[in-house]
Amino acid sequence: MEEDLIKERKKKLEELKAMGVEPFGRRFSPTHSAADIIEKYGEKQFAENEESAEDVSVAGRIMLVRGHGKAAFAHLQDRSGKIQIYIRLDIIGEDGFKIYEKVDLGDFIGVVGSIFRTRTGELTIKVKKLCFLTKAMRPLPEKWHGLKDVETRFRQRYLDFISNPEVRKIFSLRAKVIKYIREFLDGKGYSEVETPMLHQIAGGAAAKPFKTFHNALGMDLYLRIAPELYLKRLIVAGMEKVYEINRSFRNEGISTRHNPEFTMLEVYTAYADYNDVMDLTEGLIKDAAEKTLGRKKIIFGENELNLESPWKRTPYYEILKEFTQKDFIKMNEEESRRYAKELNVNVDECKNKDEIVNQIFEKIVQPKLIQPAFVIDYPVSTSPLAKSKPDNPDLVERFELFIGGEEIANAYSELNDPIEQRKRFEEQGGTIDEDFVRALEHGMPPTGGLGIGVDRLVMVFANVLSIREVILFPQLKPEK
């Protein structure tokens, strides 16, 4: 039983103490990582019995041990990978070997020794000194099959990292993508800002917010559902080019593409419109793929995605027509509801024609938008913060970007007319953010705005089909 396994380890811990070895040790200075050693000596030819002149020191977790009586091979894992170590009684001595005998899989040790190549060709550290660093009281998952149970992988993500190397790669990729986004935008003169996450009015999107309470102020606050309205205040302020990359929170269902907290990039560019923002988005994602993955063709699920420019740009009603053979522009609510039924799309919850058509778009069109595609010019009713088309007040200058059937970005020419903005808020029926309207009344220059779901972008880059695979600690119910 598990308790017996812990008891065994506790016993060894006490035996180490009795030997004068601290089971939860102190500092150790590795000269190399496992990967450093492979990089430095990987190409080197060693003669029989030859070893490196220098000694290296490496620290890590013991992943695997192959004992041979008075000698042993083991694999030590650090952040960079694994390196084999070779322990011999006649080299580290009686005392050192006794310490080795108390080492379990999962323990942290530091070793000092020279590099050599085994007869089978593996680069190995011949251990001259072994420092015990930390006892692991619980066993590791299985050495060959690793940890597969999805629930344990997410609840105890550290175990997932320890036994599944590809998981580490996904989060390393995520870090690179976010780093590159900053590099790209900083390089174009954008300023990164941090706006409030605690909002008095949760605006900028139509999602349900999380509610909390500030004791000293004695008032309700909401976790933000989008940073949009604050970023636009900064455009009023004259910042001209700003972005924020951080968490937003939406109190809605959890699925393979929704986590209650998620990372969004929002970018605002004064004097630009949605066409400029499309160029910016295309450049950013294409370059990010090239910089982080080294290629512009990527595999996502069953498809190969080609991120090479130019990306398709198609008006909303046009692409609907392309996939359904129906012209929804002139249709009324009754007709569109009938067509929805024909197409087997459930529109029972939809209150008007635009919502029905949007359902049809999401169910019929969106899953087929595999290659990068900008869908442009949406109905005004579903886009209260976007500027209308100059030649058609029913449509707005807005685009959504789809890659691999996933909605990756949402953007528009920002509505900067405070009178029109107030009217749109009133039509929506919710709380009006008077402070935001007042900001617009002071004058916001024409502005192009963009939101990118960073988690979803990383999903596409990493070729994983669940958002939980790109979020370190996805939200789960309590275990008990």
Q: Exposed, middle or buried: residue 120 (CB in 10 Å: 0-12, 13-18, 19+)?
A: exposed
Q: Which is nearer to RNA, 41 or 73 (CB)?
A: 73
User: Closer CB to RNA, residue 63 or residue 331?
Assistant: 63
Based on CB atoms, which residue is closest to RNA, 307 or 440?
440
d(CA 164, CA 332): 54
Cβ-based nearer residue to RNA, 141 or 372? 141
400 is in an annotated binding site: yes
Name the residue nearer to RNA (CB basis): 6 or 198: 6
Pick the closer one to RNA by CB: 289 or 460. Answer: 460
Q: Which residue has the tokens 């899989």?
A: 105
Q: Which amino acid is at 37?
A: I
Token code pair at residue 419: 């009178």
In the complex, the smallest distance separating the C-beta of residue 249 from RNA, rounded to whole angstroms, is 11
Q: State yes or no: 50 annotated in a binding site.
A: no
Bin 271: left if φ > 0, else alpha if -120 < ψ < 50, else beta.
Answer: left
Count the neighbouring beta carbons within 10 Å of the beta carbon of residue 220: 10
CB 339 within 8 A of CB 360: yes
* Shortest CB 152 distance to RNA, Å: 6
Distance in Å, CB of 93 to RNA, minimum:
10
Radius of gyration of the chain (CA): 29
In whole angstroms, the minimum distance from the beta carbon of 34 to RNA comes to 13
CA distance linking residue 380 with residue 294, whole number of Å = 39
Tell me whether residue 22 or residue 252 sits nearer to RNA (CB atom): 252
State in angstroms the smallest separation of the CB of 242 from RNA. 19
* Min CB(193)–RNA separation in Å: 21
Shortest Å, Cβ 287 to RNA: 27
Q: Output 221 or 470, the one with its CB closest to RNA.
A: 470
Cβ-based nearer residue to RNA, 205 or 289: 205
Q: How far is the CB of 474 from RNA (least distance, A)?
A: 6
Question: Min. distance of Cβ 124 from RNA in angstroms?
Answer: 5
Residue among 179, 180, 182, 204 at smallest CA distance from 193: 182
**Smaller CB distance to RNA: residue 43 or 94?**
94
**Least CB distance to RNA at residue 209 (A):** 11
Q: Which two tokens stand for residue 238?
A: 């004259």
Q: Which of 147/289 has CB closer to RNA? A: 147
The amino acid present at 192, given as its one-letter code, is: E
Contact 34, 81 (CB under 8 A): yes
Rounded Cα distance, 45 and 47, in Å: 7
The β-bridge relationship of strands 241-249 and 191-192 is parallel
Minimum separation from the CB atom of position 187 to RNA (A):
29
Which one, of 218, 180, 174, lies nearest residue 200 by Cα? 218
> Binding site residues, as ranges?
400, 407
> Binding site residues for Mg(2+), as ranges?
400, 407
